[in-house]
């Protein structure tokens, strides 16, 4: 597989306030062409560090893409660093200077002297036009490697990449990629279950990505190893079964929406600790009005009693965070809304309010339909935000599993 790497240049990305997103965009097109990104580096506006990064990159990869540091200011040092590293002079490109001057004249401005340096190109390089800003890009083929210098702002970098760079990339064989998304399983558990498959892979790359209450597994292979990857995918399906909620990029709420639509069923929800998050996620799906009837946030005890007729003595006896209350919430909202399905969620999101018997993260989710009401008890770790999200994820996943039953 061809190897590429990306160097993001800019001191702001070494602060807590900005992150490098250009490399995410670039990685997607590279992968589509069968080119593997083997490393990413972020360096500040520092010529010495940049030269050092180029030295490492040239050892490791055939394609090196730098973004940022092409502006006119003194802290924009990419050109200088590349010239130093390649030991070539920076040469003024008169045509490029004219086109930069023209950009300013078009706007009735005089070109500041500082912008002159943007017309300087490391010897042997080709200027790449920038239709959305003043900084031209540069393409250099040197030491049997390809080096691209692109501007930092995404709206300048992306069109330049599309229009002037992609065609210069070598085309490796097409790539086979298989994605699986799994809800409500810890990363370590998924990894462990898949070990028998993943430990045998020769040419297929296995990646596991974790976010809150969701795991993504990728199998990536060059075309010649397609059979191996397909075989592995088949085994993954066998091992994880219906714990996989999609083999595409849909969100869990999309999958639930599609199932409800297909089954022509309707849904209402009663939320306490998720504070409307579940309803929000359900209604993030376009067309959700076809199946989502209503949601209520019954946060206080009084709300549960008044709106959903949860018996007062039930709350007194079991507490608002309890299986009986979750069940009543689900059954009542279902009945009041006259929907096929009703969900009730109650829990302790924390960080305060936990007790030894009812710790922070304790959540009950109940699901009622015309036949049965089921309730699940969970103990979620993490922050308030995380617990709320995981609770909404648990509710969506229960819905999904219920809707998949015959
Ligand atoms: P300019 O001519 O606009 O100065 P430049 O090539 O010098 O172009 P930088 O000065 O390095 O670019 O970056 C300009 C802005 O572009 C940054 O403030 C930042 O908002 C954005 N940017 C730079 N690099 C990245 C990156 N890797 N990912 C996302 N945004 C970036
Ligand atoms: Mg700049």
The tens digit of pLDDT for each residue in 246-302 reads 999 899 999 999 999 999 999 999 999 999 999 999 999 999 999 999 999 999 999
| 203 closest CA partner among 239, 232, 180 | 232
- How many whole angstroms from 73 Cα to the centroid of ligand 2? 6
Q: What is the torsional sign of CA 193, 194, 195, 197?
A: positive
Q: Which ligand sits nearest to residue 118's alpha carbon?
A: 1
Best residue among 19, 68, 104, 114 to mutate for probing ligand 1's pocket (most ligand atoms within 8 Å of CB) is: 68
Binding pocket residue ranges, ligand 1, CB within 6 Å = 8-10, 12, 20-22, 67-71, 76, 133-135, 151-154
For residues 293 and 164, give the distance between their C-alpha atoms in angstroms, rounded to a whole number.
50
Q: 381-404 pLDDT, tens per residue?
A: 999 999 999 999 999 999 999 999
Q: 353-392 pLDDT, tens per residue?
A: 999 999 999 999 999 999 999 999 999 999 999 999 999 9
Best residue among 5, 6, 10 to mutate for probing ligand 1's pocket (most ligand atoms within 8 Å of CB) is: 10
For residues 133 and 152, give the distance between their C-alpha atoms in angstroms, rounded to a whole number.
10
For residues 118 and 100, give the distance between their C-alpha atoms in angstroms, rounded to a whole number.
8
- 3-class DSSP state for residue 245? strand
Atom 13 of ligand 1: nearest residue by CA position? 152
Q: Where are the beta strands (DSSP E) in 242-340?
A: 244-246, 267-271, 292-297
Atom of ligand 1 nearest to the CA of 150: 6
- How many whole angstroms from 67 Cα to the centroid of ligand 1? 7
pTM (predicted TM-score): 0.72
């Amino acid at each position: 597989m061809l190897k590429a790497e990306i160097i993001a240049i800019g001191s702001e990305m070494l602060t807590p306030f900005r992150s490098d997103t250009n490399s995410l965009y670039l990685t997607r097109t590279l992968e589509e062409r069968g080119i593997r990104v083997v490393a990413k580096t972020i360096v500040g506006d520092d010529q010495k560090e940049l030269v050092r990064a180029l030295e490492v990159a040239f050892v490791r990869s055939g394609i090196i893409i730098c973004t940022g540091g092409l502006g006119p200011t003194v802290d924009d040092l990419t050109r200088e660093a590349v010239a130093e590293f390649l030991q070539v002079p920076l040469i003024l490109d008169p045509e490029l200077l004219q086109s930069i001057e023209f950009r300013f004249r078009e706007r009735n401005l005089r070109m500041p002297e500082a912008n002159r340096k943007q017309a300087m190109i490391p010897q042997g390089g080709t200027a790449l036009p920038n239709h959305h800003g003043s900084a031209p890009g540069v393409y250099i083929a040197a030491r049997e490697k390809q080096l691209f210098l692109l501007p930092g702002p995404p709206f300048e970098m992306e069109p330049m990449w599309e229009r002037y760079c992609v065609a210069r990339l070598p085309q490796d064989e097409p790539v086979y990629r298989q994605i699986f998304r799994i809800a409500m399983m810890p990363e370590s558990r998924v990894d462990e279950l898949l070990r028998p498959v993943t430990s045998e892979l020769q040419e297929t790359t296995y990646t596991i990505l974790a976010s809150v209450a969701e795991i993504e597994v990728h199998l990536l292979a060059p075309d010649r190893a397609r059979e191996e990857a397909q075989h592995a995918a088949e085994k993954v399906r066998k091992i994880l079964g219906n714990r996989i909620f999609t083999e595409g990029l849909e969100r869990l709420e999309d999958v639930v929406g599609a199932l409800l639509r297909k089954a022509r069923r309707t849904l209402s929800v009663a939320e306490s600790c998720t504070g409307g998050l579940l309803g929000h996620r359900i209604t993030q799906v376009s067309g959700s009005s076809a199946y989502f009837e209503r949601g209520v946030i019954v946060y206080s005890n009084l709300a549960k009693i008044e709106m959903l007729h949860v018996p007062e003595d039930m709350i007194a006896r079991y507490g608002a965070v309890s299986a009986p209350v979750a069940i009543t919430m689900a059954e009542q909202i279902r009945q009041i809304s006259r929907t096929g399905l009703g969900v009730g969620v109650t829990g302790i999101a924390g960080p305060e309010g936990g007790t030894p018997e009812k710790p922070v993260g304790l959540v009950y989710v109940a699901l009622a339909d015309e036949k049965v009401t089921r309730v699940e008890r969970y103990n979620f770790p993490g922050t308030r935000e995380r617990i709320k999200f995981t609770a909404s994820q648990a509710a969506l996943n229960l819905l999904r599993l219920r809707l998949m039953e015959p």
